[in-house]
Each structure stands twice: as structure tokens, then as C-alpha cells.
Amino acid sequence: MARSRPYASLSAVILFTISLLVAVQTTPAMAELFSPEDAHSVKRIYSAVMSPTGEWIAYTVSIQREPDDEAGGAYSELHVVSPKTGEIRPFITGEVNVSSLRWSPDGSRIAFLTSRGKKAKRQVWIIPVGGGEAIQVTSSKTGISTFRWHPHGDRIAYIATCPETAQEKDLKEKGYRFIFFEENLKHRNIYMIGVDENGGVGDPERLTEGITVWSLEFSPCGKRIALAASSKNLVDHSYMFKKIHLLDIESKKLVQLTDNPGKLGNFAWSLDGSKIVYGAALELKDHAVSQVLVIDAAGGEARNLTEPGFMGHVEWVGWKNRKTIVYKAGEGAWSTLSIVKASGGDRKIILDAKETGFVFRTPSYTKDFKHFALVGSSPEIPSDIFYWRYGSKEPKRLTTINPWVAERELGKQEVVRYQARDGLEIEGILVYPVGYTEETSYPLIISVHGGPESHRSNVWLTSYFNPAQVLAGMGYVVFYPNYRASTGYGIEFALQGYEDPAGKEFDDLADAIDFLVEKGIADPERVGLGGGSYGGFAAAWFASYYTKKVKAVCMFVGISNLISKRGTTDIPWEELYVHSGTKLEKTWKRSLERSPIYWAHQSETAVLIVGGADDPRVHPSQSLEFYRRLKMNDHPAVRFVQYPGEGHGNRKQPGRIDLLHRHLQWYDWYVKDKKPLHGPMPPIDISENYGIDLPDEE
């Protein structure tokens, strides 16, 4: 806006005043920019469950703790909303942590998991929909991971780990706290307990032993349970070695049903109990669930219902009716819901995110397949509840849990495609800076997803480590590439990273930078890159091998040494079967040369290394190794920050708040402001940004 001159004419002043009033009323430029504090304040909905009658949708709302609160994870509240009237009823709110919502078969009660008290374990609770207090159902000595209602509504089956024996507890109390690594593991078992309007009835009955159970589903008649189990209670086994078994409840006889290679997704009984549909990998080396398969409950060969050459990944499966299967898939930057006959044939897409305008999570629906509850997200909606009646044109939005977001000025977000150096088309999400003009090139941040068995959808992309709209408000263009090895583009695309770490997959990231520079969107002298886990691997790779491409990186729980990573992760078999493909003894040279530590000596990039001090997935030593290699080569701009008590990602608000502000500060210092690599680093004390009350210095 031009300044008024001291000697402007009266008419000019009048015209200026009128134009100003019009601008105030019609121009969104007066809206506030999206701030880091806004990013921390966003509420999220992660799950929604439709009642059996279609009358209510129960859902959880995740709310971050305030900066001054006791350190901990986000709170999770229980609410219900009526699809018919839009009425919202808060059921359990405040400093609570509610999860795993399940309606009773008659729709009169909601069961959920929560813990009440600092040392309490997660238990099953129920609350009447018609009003009343929540009642505890279980009293397991160990926390409950998941549960299901019996179809008759008079029992609940749940999964819990075997408790310590009296002898083990006594030895611990006497100081004999030895660790027999991956040996004296306790199995996860299924227990069943009666339930009435007053809570649990009688003592729980254990239904399994000698095997670890990860998930379960009752048959429609309630006489059998389908369960996913592995031989050991290890995260690696849950990733790679789960098979579906059938349990006869009365006899406790357990029979293995599937012999699926590699990863297993969810599963569901057909309405008549004759078949089971499940999601799974096509073969052992597939790094993600991708297929929809159906098998007779009596046994036999599974039938793959996925279309040959399917350019997506199946993410969830269920039943429409006795003969028809429904499944959700990720297809590029969008989600789809499709149906297909259990006997095979072509699929039919019944809900497409491209048409709804929002990407949806796993659906919940009534048995008659008429009423659907969806959690949806778009570039302008962090997450909300949508209701969809099968066959209708558009879902209906029922909630607006972040109404203030509409008052913020957001950067434009769109799906874009570019060609990699070998001609393959790569897709990603581009977020433009607020006030973008084509005549200007902007500082660029490449945000790399982890996995790599994951992908970015065209959803709300602002969080504590991926603050897209905060960066847009700060004048950055941000790009989220679905590089090779991402899910959502078919098996062939996903396997591009197999036995080729930091190869074509990370070349795609370099090509993305070149593409945005050539388009005139990005300034080649102001480029940063960040990512977590496998994305942190990419950050370290660009700080070393591709150092000429970027001015600064943020490596969050990232990989720096493929050799030592294999021996320190909690998923070594998953890493072998779906990533490296060959045992380390045969790949020493490749593993070394594809490790950022091998190239660290040539780094000319400012490197911020951050991560949890208790990370079991990518051991903190990966960060330390990269830090040491850089420092021992006299790197002038490297900082290593650890978050005590955090694992593979920050859960508590102190670590989230610090990481949010710290990596934004790092980008501003070295990317936007182009501070010299050999100059002073940004201040280490950023506590003034935490939003907490601190004593004044004397």
C-alpha cells in the first residue's frame, strides 16, 4: 500500500479513504498469517465410528497440551455428533486420553480405552450414550492394546501382555533387574470378560497362550475369533511375520489360516462368516500392504482381488454385503473407496477424494452400508467429521473443530508433477508462499516423508515438524515430493528403492529442486531440506553427497550409517526383507558408499541434527555418528539437539515446541537470510519462543 503524500489533495484523500474501507471489507490480505503458535494449537480428529443405527458418530479430538502444562502427549477427548441434526455432545473432555472407540452391538454404549491416574494402565471403559458416568470394565495388570465387543454384546475380548510373575516382581524389587535381550519376552494374549450395565462381570478368561496376538475380530455368530499372531512379541514380528489364525472360543483350538508372505493389514469376516478378506503385501519384499485378498474360513488358497498393475496401495478392507468387498486405497495424492465382488472382477470406485475435495481416513459404516462416518482433511481443513450416505453425491461436513483457521491467510496448495532425470513422472504437493507472484523466486524447503513406505496426500500439511502453512506465511515455497519408493503409485514404483538406498529415490529429490528452480518458483541460492526417519536419511544425504544443492538441512531421527543402523534398529528383519534385500556381509561396500558418513567430509551445508534420546527405531547413535564425522572434519555449522524421553518422533509438547521453532530458526538463518556457513550459528537459547512463564534474570 502506497504512503499518502503530505500535500495530497482533499479528493485524493477521500478516494484513498473509500478504497481503504473497501479493502478492509473485501480483501483477505488483512487476515493473520499462520504462526508457529497456531501450528501447536491445531486440534486433530484421528478416528470416527458410526453407531449401529446410524444415529450418532463417536469421535476423538486430539488437543495439544499448553506450553506451561506438565510435559506429556496430547489429550484425547470423546465427542459424538448426530448426522441428522448436527448436534454435538462432548462426552469425556479435559485432561483425558480416550482411544479405540467401539459401539456396543445395540448402540446403547461406547467402549473405549483410557487410563485414570498417573500409574494406571490402559483399561476398557464403557459410557452410556443416553447419559451417565463412564464405568471401568477391565482391571488388567498390564495395559490393554485393543479390544472387541462380542456380537451378543455381553462380553468383551481384549489383548494384554502377560503380567510379571510374583517371583519376577520380587527379584526386581531386590535389584535383580537383568535384561535378557529379546529372550524372556511376554506374549500378548486374548482375554475375555463378561460385561453388563455396571461394568465387568466375573474374572477374565484367557483364550490364547504360547503365541503373540496383535489384533482380533469376532465371527458374526460369536463362536470364533480371527486373529493376527506371530511367534514373538517383537515390533519386527508385527511388521513381517503376522499370519491370520482362527480360534474356536469353546475349545480354544487355534488353526493358522493364511500363509501370507511379509506384511499383513487388517482383516474382516464376511457377513455370513464363510470368508475372510484381508490386506497384505504381494510378496515378501513389498515394503507395504498393497493388495486385497479373500480366503474361505474353512481354508484353501487366497484369491487376490487387486487389479493387475493397480497404481495405488490398498490400505483397509471390509465387506459391503455377503458377496461384495469394499476397500480403501491411496492412489497418488488422493484416497479412494472401491467395491469388488468376492468372486473377482473389476472394481467400482464409489467415493473419490478428487471429487469430494478432501482425503479421508478409514471409513466406518452401518451394516446395511447406507450410513458412513469419515474423517476428512484438505489443504484448508486440518481434520473434521463428514457424513456420507451411500450413493449420494457429496459427503456432509458435520464439525469445524478449528474455526479460527478460516481467519488465517494460507498459502495456495496444489498437486504438481515433474519429470525425473530418466523421464519418470513424479508427483508431489506444492505449497506456495502467501502473496506469491510469478515474477519472484522464493526460498525453497523440500520436506521429505519417512518410510519410505508412505506418501503425501493433498491434505492439511502443517504440524510441529512439517509446518507448511507457517513456512508459507514466512515467505517460503514448500514441496512435498512422493519420490520413488513411496506408496500410492503401485508396486513397481514402490520397489524402485529396493536394494538401492539413496539411489533413484533421492535423485528424485534433487530433480525436484531443479524443476522448481527452472520454473522460476525457487531461488537456487536459498534451498533447504528436512525430513524425519527415512526423510532424515535424505537430509543427511543432501548435507553430504548432494551438498551443493542445499544451504541447510534438518535431520530428524535420521539415518547416517547403513552398516551400524542394521545392528541397532528394532526392525532388522523388516530392513533386510523389504529394503536392503541382502545380508550385510554381501553389501559392505554398497552400504558404506550409500551412507552419509562416507560423504560427510565434503559437506558445505548447515546441518541441524535433532531426535529423541530413547529412539528404538533409528538409534540415537546414528545422529551422533553423523555429528562426529562432520565435527572431525571441521564443519563450522552443525548442531545436535536431543530430546530426553522421546522416541522415534516427539510426543510431548516441550520437544514439539522446541523442534518447531528451532528448525524454523535454522532455515531462516541459513536459507532465507543466507548467513555464511563460517559465521556464527543461530542462538542456541530460543526459550523466549516457548510460550512459558520464566523467571526474570536478576
Residues 6+ apart with CB under 8 A from 514: none
pLDDT at 695: 84
User: Grid coordinates representing 542?
Assistant: 543432501
pLDDT at 118: 83
Rg over CA atoms, the chain:
27
According to CATH, where is 3.40.50.1820 located in the chain?
410-689
89-136 pLDDT tens trace: 999 999 999 999 999 999 999 999 999 988 899 999 999 999 899 999
Q: What is the mean pLDDT of residues 545-559?
A: 98
Q: 179 to each of 182, 183, 237, how far by Cα in Å?
A: 9, 9, 20
Q: 503 to each of 433, 445, 507, 527, how far by Cα in Å?
A: 30, 21, 6, 21
639-685 pLDDT tens trace: 999 999 999 999 999 999 999 999 999 999 999 999 999 999 999 99
Average pLDDT of the chain is 94
409-436 pLDDT tens trace: 999 999 999 999 999 999 999 999 999 9
Q: 132 to each of 198, 271, 344, 537, how far by Cα in Å?
A: 11, 33, 47, 50
Residues 6+ apart with CB under 8 A from 413: 379, 429, 430, 431, 432, 458, 461, 468
Asked whether 279 and 267 are in contact (CB, 8 A), the reply is yes
Q: What is the mean pLDDT of residues 165-179?
A: 92
Could you identify the residue written with the cell 530418466? 422
Q: What is the mean pLDDT of residues 383-398?
A: 96
Q: Helix (H, G, I), strand (E, B), or coil: what is residue 343? A: coil
Distance CA 55, CA 145 (A): 28
Q: How confident is the model at residue 342 (pLDDT cuts 50, 70, 90)?
A: very high
Q: How confident is the model at residue 2 (pLDDT cuts 50, 70, 90)?
A: very low
CATH class of this structure's domain 410-689: alpha beta
Instruction: Give the CATH number of domain 109-125+132-256; options: 1.20.140.10, 3.30.70.640, 2.120.10.30, 3.50.50.60.
Output: 2.120.10.30
Q: Would the pTM count as exceeding 0.85?
A: yes
Alpha helices in 488-595, H assignment, sequence order = 491-494, 504-518, 534-544, 562-568, 572-575, 588-593
Could you identify the residue written with the cell 481354508? 299
Distance CA 287, CA 578 (A): 5
> Of 583, 552, 522, 566, whose CA–CA distance to 662 is shortest?
552
Q: Helix (H, G, I), strand (E, B), or coil: what is residue 579? A: helix
With a pLDDT cut of 70, the percent of the chain lying above it is: 95
Residue 21 has pLDDT above 60, yes or no: no
Distance CA 377, CA 365 (A): 19
User: Dihedral of CA 560/562/567/571: which sign?
Assistant: positive
Distance CA 193, CA 273 (A): 23
Could you identify the residue written with the cell 463417536? 58
According to CATH, where is 2.120.10.30 located in the chain?
109-125+132-256, 259-356
DSSP secondary structure string for all residues of 263-306: -EEEEEE-TTSSEEEEEE-SSTT-SS--EEEEEETT----EE-S
> Which neighbouring-strand residues pair with 424?
none
Residue 15 has pLDDT above 50, yes or no: no
Asked whether 530 and 570 are in contact (CB, 8 A), the reply is no
Asked whether 284 and 275 are in contact (CB, 8 A), the reply is no
Asked whether 190 and 212 are in contact (CB, 8 A), the reply is no
Residue 561 has pLDDT above 80, yes or no: yes
pLDDT at 23: 36
Distance CA 594, CA 499 (A): 11
Residue 30 has pLDDT above 70, yes or no: no
Distance CA 575, CA 127 (A): 42
User: Grid coordinates representing 230?
Assistant: 506371530
Which residue type occupies 515? F
142-155 pLDDT tens trace: 999 999 999 999 99
pLDDT at 696: 78
> Which neighbouring-strand residues pair with 669?
none
- CB-count exposure of residue 363 (10 Å: 0-12, 13-18, 19+): buried
CATH class of this structure's domain 259-356: mainly beta
Asked whether 245 and 253 are in contact (CB, 8 A), the reply is no
Q: What is the mean pLDDT of residues 288-296?
A: 98
Asked whether 190 and 207 are in contact (CB, 8 A), the reply is yes
Distance CA 486, CA 313 (A): 10
> Of 524, 410, 525, 513, whose CA–CA distance to 468 is shortest?
410
At residue 378's C-alpha, the angle toward residues 61 and 390, to 5°, is 80
pLDDT at 17: 34
pLDDT at 117: 86
User: Dihedral of CA 55/74/690/526: which sign?
Assistant: negative
> Which neighbouring-strand residues pair with 334?
331
Length of the chain: 698
218-276 pLDDT tens trace: 999 999 999 999 999 999 999 999 999 999 999 999 999 999 999 999 999 999 999 99
Residue 192 has pLDDT above 50, yes or no: yes
Residues 6+ apart with CB under 8 A from 668: 474, 682
